[in-house]
Every structure is written in C-alpha cells, then in structure tokens.
Structure 1
C-alpha cells in the first residue's frame, strides 16, 4: 500500500491536477517557484523550463517596458491583492487574454516570502463580450440611423431614457431637451385630460402591447397623425424595467386616405345624381299624367254649361288623382326611410282579403292568385304603407310571369326575426308574409341590388325603381325586415316580417267623419310660410266654420301669442319653416300655454321621423277637407 499523503502533499496534488487555471508561486522577487498543469497548458512551458525564471516573461513587451510586472507585485504586497485583465504571451509568442490575481504569501511572523499567482485564459469570453458589445453598438447605430421611426425607451414611470434621430426628426426635440421628460409631453391636451398616457402604459402592461393611431404634438405645437406601439421590457427575472416605444408619422398617409374618402363620397354623390337622373323620366312621366287629369278637370269645371253630373265626375277625378299623387310622394319618401308612418292595429288576413280583388285585377287572368288566411295575425303598422308594399310585391311578381303562373301570399307567425341579408336577427314574435311566384327568377348578381333606390331592370319609362325600396323602407321603419330568395327559371319568394301584436282583440276600423258634418267653431292661429298653401289652408278652415288668423313664421306666431294667447283655441302649424320650425313652436307653446292645443302638418320632416313620440296631433300633406275635419273635431 502506498504511504498516505500528508496534508501538504494532498494540496500539492490538487493544485497540480487543475488544468483550467494556471496556479503557481513566485518568490519575493517574482521568480517562478512552482508550476501546475494548468500553467503548462496555458503558457506552453514545462516546469523544468520555467521554474527559476522571472514571471515578467509572460508579459507583452509594451507591458514590460511600462514595468507592469513590478508594479503588480508592489500592489499585491501593499494592498493585499492585485487583480487585472490583460494580454499575456505564450512560449510560442502568441498572445492570449487573461484574468490574473496575485496574492502575497506571508510566513508565521507575517514577513513576505513570495506571491501566489492564479491566471485564467479568458480569450474566448472576451471575444464573446466584444462581439456582444460590437453587436450592441451596431444596434445602437442602427436605431440612431433610423429617421422614419421615433424609437426610444421609457422608464417604468414613463420618462424618456434615450432618443434616436427619428424621434428628433418626427417630434422636433433633441435628446438633451427631452431625455428625463415624461412622454405625455407628446400627447394632445384633450388626451392628457382623459388620462390617455397612463392608460397606454397600463394597457401595454396588461395585454403585452399597446397599439393605436392617434394625434400627437410636435415641439412646434403642430399636430401630426401617429402610429404608436408600446411594448413592456422586463429583465431576466421578469421585473419591469421600462417600455420600448415606436412612433411613425402617418400624417401624409392619413391625408391621402381622407382625400380618397372624399373622392369616394363624391363618387357616391355622382352615382346618386345619376340615379336621380334615371328616376326623373319615370317620376316626371307619372306626375305629368296625374297633373294632366287635374288640369283638364279643372278647366272643364270652369265651363258655364257643364252638366251637374259631369261636374261631380270631374271633381271626383281631381280628388282621386290627388290621392294617387300623394301615394307616389309617399313612395319617394319611404325608400329613404324619411316618411313619418301612422301606425295602427290591423288584421293582416282581413287586409289581404279586402285587397284580393285589386290584386287579381293587377295580375290579370293569366296568373293564378292564392291568398291564405291566418287567424290572429294582428300588427301595428301604417296600413296604407302595408298595402303599397304588398301591391309592389304583387306587381313585381306579375312582371316576372308575362306568360302566366302562380302567385301565392301566405301569412305565418314565427318566433324571432331571422338574420337576413347580413343583418342581425331579433327576439319576439313576428308576422311573416311570404309572397312567392313561379316566374323567371332573379339573377344572383342582380339580387343584391334590388332594394337599392332607383335600381330597376325594367325598360325606360316602365318603372322608377322605387317599388322594392318602398317595401324595404316600410319594413325597417316598422321594426321588421324584408328577405328574398330566388332561383332563375324557377321563381322568387319575398318574405315581409312585421312585429306581431300579442293579445290584441278584433280590430275595428274607426268610421271616417263626413267632411260636411258641422264642426265647433274655433279661433285658429294658422302658421304657414308658403303663401299659396297658406291661402288655401285658410280657405279650407273658413269653409269648415273656423275663424282664422294667418302668420307666416314661428317667430310671428310666438309674438302674437305673447300678446293674446287667450284669443285662440287652436294652433295649426306647418313643420318645415325657416327660423323656428313647427316642432320647436309646438314645444314652446306646450311649455308656456299647455292648455292651447297644437296640430302639426307636414309632407316631409327629418324632425318628426327622428321623434315619432313628439306627442302632437299630425296631419300629413296633402290633406283633404275630410281629413282636416277629422283632426279638428
């Protein structure tokens, strides 16, 4: 058995076995006194070659000239240790980068007897660190070289910690002016008041990113459109150390987009005007026909020799033609959904039964008409508009079956309004009236346009393109929808959905008041800005036994009421007037003289469409003597 090693022997064996560190001793003057395997590997000398040699031979000539070896030993002796990095030289003359530590070795009395030197070859580590440093420098140069983006860092509180050239170019601040300032400096006053900067950082923290396009402010005070991205930055432990912020000036792109949007609007307006132009022929033709009847009848009524029975016939012709003209105007307004509706309860099956003869006459003898009945199909809608919608669908079906076919109208009740034509559905119970034909069908490329106003596939002067627009407008205004399914060569089915009224009893239409029935005489304040209409309305009211005072605007009406409101029993006012309109006038009267009733009249009004619940009696133009009598009763 070999003799056990002493403690000193074991330590020496340990040191000599270390190959990743050069560990050796120097005497007081710096001569090598011991040499381990690591020293031999790093420096290339065997122990026999180097023991007794001065350790300065490992230093570069320039370090030797600067007496760095001597100074290193002095520093170790006086300061208790010496530690440094630097170039050293191997036996073959090649250089390597080392990390060296020199400690003094003292005897039992504390006297210096030499030095312990530990050296490590860190050439690879230094190369990696230099590569990293160079990479970081290149990255900084890259970031600094970018001028189209503002790229900079914020601390966790939002203060700017660095600033690239792009930030200076876009925002106008140089680094000395802005580093240390809070990034909210770049926000508009209104965004700062809303707390947008804090929200941006909070969003970046909570979601991992904040991205927005918004207005920002340059140093000059000029606003610019910015694309902004903020990302949180965390260290290896996950602790937030700040935010990376990138901003791009999108002002020019935004301006181009605005120009494109204006161009699109202009194109849409041009298309609309083109459509109006296409409409003009059809509508003008229809109105000229109606006006021909009215004008001719009026001329004939002037003849002194006209027989009484003919006089009554021409008067009735004028009345009926005026009704048709009013219906055409209603169609024009309904397609744009600007026509105030007059909803009332009615039974759909009863209305269809009453319209059957008219529908049969419209489709002719070559079309087989089938109209189903459904008990309890009661809706709350404008009855006249409903009839117009049904007739429009029936006439379209007739035109699709020039050689004859079958037309069916089937009402059903459905739970929930289905999602149709890309629109969302709705809860509740609905009346679904399906109008289907066996006609030519509609081509897919045409189907998506059929509800657009003025769109028609008919020849010139054979249609205005308002029929299906009226149906669509009526359905949407009534809280319902219109859907269509069609197959070319097989047929088309339109389904009109209207909200069902639950629990309604039998609907009885109120009898119309005869216009010749005596009315209570009232003192009426008439407010009408159109002179011709004002003269006519005053004449009608006086024919009905009313005492009329006529003013031409809302301001004059209020001035008169301020002086003598107790001299009037009723105010009868147009809605569309310059200055104070009729609805504003009615509300002012309600506020100051709540006991004084107001009747409004209009043929078209944005205000009344937006506010169906205004609470005032409404008489739609053109009104008849009977209609005026009804509302005055």
Structure 2
C-alpha cells in the first residue's frame, strides 16, 4: 500500500512537470466556482499574469466586457458541468488590456463519488491562425466578387464529372442561364448537337485531366438556341494531395472579333487586289530608310521592274544621277516627315534607262502608337501631259504671234494717222527752215519749238507702245501715291474741263510703293481720259487710294471710277488687248488700257477692270508695298553740274546717236573718246585713260552689258553707265542689276544726272 501511494505520488509529480513545461497552451485548474487554483508558464505567457497575481481570482477576468455582460463565463461552467465539456473560440483579454483570439476547452473534474470539485481549463492563442483564416476568407470573397463581376468572360467550375458548380455574371450574359437554372447541370448542354454526338465534351475533360489544360475555338449554344463562336480554356483543379477535384472553365464570345478579323482580312484583300489592279499609278511602300517593301502592277508597268528585282532596294534608283548627287531622294523623305506630305513633278528613270516625267506623292505612315513605320509612294507617268502642255504652249505662242500680226494691222489703222501727222509737222518745219535760211530768229525759234513738242509727242506714243510690250525701261522711285496724286489733282482737273467733277479720295498714311512716277502719270492720265471719253455729257471721276492686304500680300490700290455709260461684258474681256478700243474709228489707238496693264505688271503688280453698262467703270491698279524709305530730295543743279574735263569713253553703234551723245557730253564739259562697238572700246581703253564709260546696251557682237562686265574684270573701279531704249529686265533682273541704265531717248539733264550718280560727290563743282 505504501508502495502504491509512492507510485501515485511519483505519477502526479511527472504530470505536474509536464504541465509546467508547456508554454504554447495555458493549462490551469479552476475550483467549482471558477476561481483559479493552478497556473502554468503557458498561461503566464498568454495572459501576462504571474501565478501569484491570479491564483484565487475568478477566471472571468480574462473575458471581454461584452462577454462578461452576456454572462458567458458562468454559462461556460454550466455547460461543462452539464455536458462534460465546453469548447469555444472568442476574444480574450490580457493583463495589459490587449485582446487575442483564443481557442478554449473547459472540462469538469469530479471526485470518485462524482462530486464536482473543479474544472481543467486549456486555452491556446490562435490569433495568427485566425488572421490567416480571415485573410484567406477575405481573399476568397474578393476573388468571388471579381469572378462574379466579370461580364466579358464566362468563368465557372465543373466537378470531376463535368457538372457545373459555380456560375458568374459573364456566363449568365453569354449563355443566357441564371445560376439556379444551370447549377448541377452537365456542361455538355452548351455544345452543338454534332459536337455532342462526336463526344467532344468528354474528350475535353479527359484531355484537361491528362494534360492539365485544354484550349480550343468552336461554336456553342445559348439558352435561346442561337449559336456563338467561343474561345474555350479548361484547366484541371487538384487538391493538396494531387487528387482531381474539378475543372476551371473560361469561355469568351469571339463572334464579333472573328467577324471583324474576317472583315479586315476581306478589306485588306480587296485593297490589295485594288492596288495590284491599278496600272496607271505606281503604288508601293517604303520602309523608314527608303527601301521598297511592296510593288504593284502599275509600278511594274511604269518603272519596268518586276517585284523580285526591287524589293529591299532603295527607291533612289529611280532618280536621275543629277538628282541623286544633290541628295533629292533623302530630301523628299525628310520633307514628307516634316510637312506630312511631299509632292513634286520631275524626271525619273525606267529600268531600260529611259527618262519619263513623273508626278510624285510621298506620305509618311504611322502605326497605332504613332511610331513612324515607313512611307506610301505614289507615282504617275505624266510624260503625255507634259507633251500636251508643251504642244499647248507652242499653239499659244503661234496664236500670240497671229494676234501680234493682227495687232500690227490694227496698229496701222489706229496710230499710223497720228504718226503721219507728227511726221508732217516735223518734215514741213525742217523743210521750211532749210528753204528759208534768213528767217528771223523769233520765227525760226517758233518752228524749232514746234518740232521739239512734236518729238515729245512721238516719244510719249512710243513709250506707251513699249510699256504695253513690257520693254519700256522703268526708273522706279519710292513714293507715297496719295502725296503724288494730290499734287497732280489740279493738272488733271484742268485737263478734264468744267463738265467733269474730279474727286480725290486719298487715304492718309499710305504705304510706300517703288514705281516709275512717269509711268504712273501716263497710266493715270490714260485712265482719266478714258473715263472722260465715256461721259461725253459730263460726269464724276473719282481717284482713290487704299492700303490692302490679301493673297498677294500687302500693297496699295489706285482706283479710277467714272459714272459713264459702262462697257458690255463681251468688250470687257478684251479691253487690255493691244489696239482694241471701244471708241469709234479714229478716236483712239487702243493703247491706253494696254499701257495701264503693262505698267502695273512691270511694277510687280496687277490691273483689273470692273464695269456694268449704264453704271460706270472702275479701273484698279494694285502695287506691292515696299519697306524702303523715300529718297532725299535733291536740287536739279546737283545732277547737272559735272567735273570739268571729265574723260568719257562713248560707245555707240549708231552714227547719228553717237554724234548726238558726243554733242551733249561736249556741252557738259567732258572730253570724249568714241568707239563704234565693244571690241573697239576695249582697244581704246588700252590706249588711253578715261574716268567713265558710257555705252549702248544693244550692239552687234559684244553687247554693252558684256563690255561692262569685261571692264569690271580688267579695270575694277572704272564706272560704266549703260543706255537702252528697251527694258533692263530683258538683260538682267532688277534686284540683280549691276550697272545703272539710262533710258533712251535721253536729254542733257537726264544724261548729266546719270553721270552724276557715278562720279564722286567730292569731285563735283557747281559753276556759277
């Protein structure tokens, strides 16, 4: 008996050591009322109390206030005593007030006679496990929400036999079934009859189970019996031990996608057939470096190359050697990228080396992301068009020549009478002076003045003809039209007479223009005289100026309007033609409006006319604005006084003109050396020193311009003054003019002014 008691004591001791060594569980005893009797290290670690702090205390102190108020501690003791066990999970409270999630077991302890003597309490902190379970549950909830909200894909699960166990919104939209209609049904009901007969549903599950995945595209059925094209993926689902527990099924309706693909393919095929069928245009693509990536039948027909001969080759092979040398191919691609398009007409080279005229269009190509991927190249053979244009130009030139011949005939009827009158005065006066050598001085001078006036009239008529022909040289000046016209107003009114009311509507602060004032006055006078003639019984003529901005840029308009009878539409189309006139025979030469048009064009502008029968006519001249400032006004004496003894080489092929020019130079106090042509002039320069060369431009052999350039090369610094009855534009553009040009016929004053511009001002002495 003593031995048995010792063994029982030893067993109790071992059990106590075991309990005291456990730190992952709180293991302690309660008496029958729930007060703490024992306390192990695990309890101390979880709860935070030492044995001395809690022994004798009621275990309800570990419960939350909510559980205490709900009398959960007392209920746990009653259930354990009544049912032999109480097990629960819930929040418990540590000594420091923090909470932890606990798994608790409460077992009653009874004496041998069955009397309740206390409780065994085991508690474990499962906060981490609970958090993992919560996170897993939350993840599953979110995943279910995600899958359930997806409408573009039917996502659902099958059990190992193919029965549907889940159903999302996408499946409901694609298939047409609600979840309660389809859960538990076999997924084969979505297959078309022929696929079910062929056993396709079973093969899908078998393949997915063996290979873990199955994927295909095929026709499926909706609830209403309609078909749709589906992309299907089936994945096998295995548990932790690797056992098959079902399948994940993902289906997407690709009916519209397939339709668009087929439509795009058909469209691309049609476009390719279209491009390949075009034979009048070479249509092909280049990569970003300019290498050819496609070739149509038109390119083959125009260029002469087969597709395999040019694919991968640079498109510069179609350019001429000259264009390649100056970098034209690269410049074309750069322009297309910079400007969005390159367009030009130029000569290109075929495979056989022959040249043809091509109209070329290059457009850059960008992909959906805006990246440059190449160029579209369209070329058309326009050689025939060019030939037609050339033939048209030849025809137009022939027509123009015919019109000139017709104009010459009209000239005979329009101005020959005026010239005969002028020549009659000149011839009669000269003959009378020769026959009456002893005529009194006053009467002789009167005849000479008549001859001089007649010559001026002839010069004016010739000037009008040259202006129409655009060969009359202009002497442009920077002027304010309003200021110039205001000064001419009184003269114009006197010319018109009392029957006519001249009104000047001149804009202030008018932009400057660079024009020939004499030509302006002639054009204005012609327009005013035409307006007067259109109003035989009197009327109003309005001269106006305006600043204008338009397609041609900034400029100034000069308008001459009348209240006359107007011009018919048929005649209005021809009014700028030479020698055409609306006046009766013998009343006009037809050069007035032609002179206006020619003067406007020579001045860099344009002229137009508007008229309505019974409502008058308006002639409008547009002149471009200049940024140059108006020149400083100088006195006449500054231009006519030249250094005495100035040595001048006079070069003129006409004996009469050379004699006349020599006399004028003598009157200006110059020492003159003569030459009849350019070669003779160069010889004279080797023999003698001169201060200035005065030469005609139009001469046989070496022209005056060639002579001036030779002098510049050999005698740099020697001034050269040229003279011509034709426009300087015939020889060299005004903005590139190297030498001053004097207009023929010239007088003493104009010759002196021309020389004055070339001699140093400090050498000039004014006599007096």
Q: TM-score, normalised by structure 1?
A: 0.66
Worse-matched range after superposition: 504-513 or 214-223: 504-513
| 1:320 matches 2:453 | yes
Q: Which residue of 1 aligns with 2:45?
A: none
Q: SS in structure 2 opposite 1:177?
A: helix
Which structure has the bigger radius of gyration? 2
Cα distance in structure 2, aligned partners of 1:141 and 1:379: 60
The higher-RCO structure (CA 8 Å, 6+ apart) is 1
Cα distance in structure 2, aligned partners of 1:317 and 1:173: 79
Alignment check: 8 A CA contact 1:227 1:250 kept: no
Cα distance in structure 2, aligned partners of 1:528 and 1:315: 27
Offset at residue 558 of structure 1 (A)? 1.6
Offset at residue 531 of structure 1 (A)? 3.6
Q: Which residue of 1 aligns with 2:535?
A: 401
Q: Which residue of 2 aligns with 1:30?
A: none
Corresponding residue pairs, total: 562
Cα distance in structure 2, aligned partners of 1:102 and 1:419: 75
Q: Which residue of 2 aligns with 1:426?
A: 555
Q: CA offsets, 1:290-338, max 9 Å, x none?
A: 2222223333333267634554444333322222111111112223444
Alignment partner for residue 234 of structure 1, among 320, 343, 367?
Answer: 367
Cα distance in structure 1, aligned partners of 2:665 and 2:639: 18
Summarize the alignment of residues 119-518 of structure 1 with structure 2, pairs less than 5 Å apart: 143-193=275-325, 195-198=327-330, 200-201=332-333, 212-224=344-356, 225-230=358-363, 232=365, 234=367, 242-303=374-435, 307-308=439-440, 311-342=444-475, 349=486, 351-353=488-490, 359=495, 367-368=499-500, 384-402=518-536, 404-406=537-539, 417-418=547-548, 424-426=553-555, 437-443=562-568, 446-447=571-572, 450-474=575-599, 488-492=613-617
Worse-matched range after superposition: 175-184 or 346-355: 346-355
Q: SS in structure 2 opposite 1:307?
A: coil
Q: Which residue of 1 aligns with 2:726?
A: 604
Offset at residue 100 of structure 1 (A)? 11
Q: CA offsets, 1:417-450, max 9 Å, x none?
A: 2369x865427xx9x6x76554323445655654
Cα distance in structure 2, aligned partners of 1:589 and 1:137: 72
Offset at residue 557 of structure 1 (A)? 0.5
Q: CA offsets, 1:35-87, max 9 Å, x none?
A: x94547647599xxx9xxxx9x769xxxxxxxxx9xxx99x99x999999999
Q: Which residue of 1 aligns with 2:675?
A: 551
Cα distance in structure 1, aligned partners of 2:735 and 2:190: 98
CA separation of 1:234 and 1:446: change in aligned 2, threshold 3 A: same
Q: Which residue of 1 aligns with 2:87?
A: none
Q: Which residue of 2 aligns with 1:565?
A: 688
Worse-matched range after superposition: 185-194 or 278-287: 185-194
Offset at residue 527 of structure 1 (A)? 1.0
CA separation of 1:520 and 1:312: change in aligned 2, threshold 3 A: same
Q: CA offsets, 1:111-142, max 9 Å, x none?
A: xx9xx9x9x99998999788987876676555
Q: TM-score, normalised by structure 2?
A: 0.56
Offset at residue 347 of structure 1 (A)? 6.2
Q: CA offsets, 1:192-248, max 9 Å, x none?
A: 45555445555666676655554432222223314445452636x665555554444
Q: Which residue of 2 aligns with 1:91?
A: none
Alignment check: 8 A CA contact 1:397 1:437 kept: yes
Offset at residue 461 of structure 1 (A)? 3.5
Alignment check: 8 A CA contact 1:172 1:218 kept: yes
Alignment check: 8 A CA contact 1:160 1:178 kept: yes
Computed over aligned residues only, the root mean square deviation of the Cα atoms, in angstroms, reads 5.9
CA separation of 1:509 and 1:491: change in aligned 2, threshold 3 A: farther
Alignment check: 8 A CA contact 2:566 2:617 kept: yes
Alignment check: 8 A CA contact 1:524 1:547 kept: yes
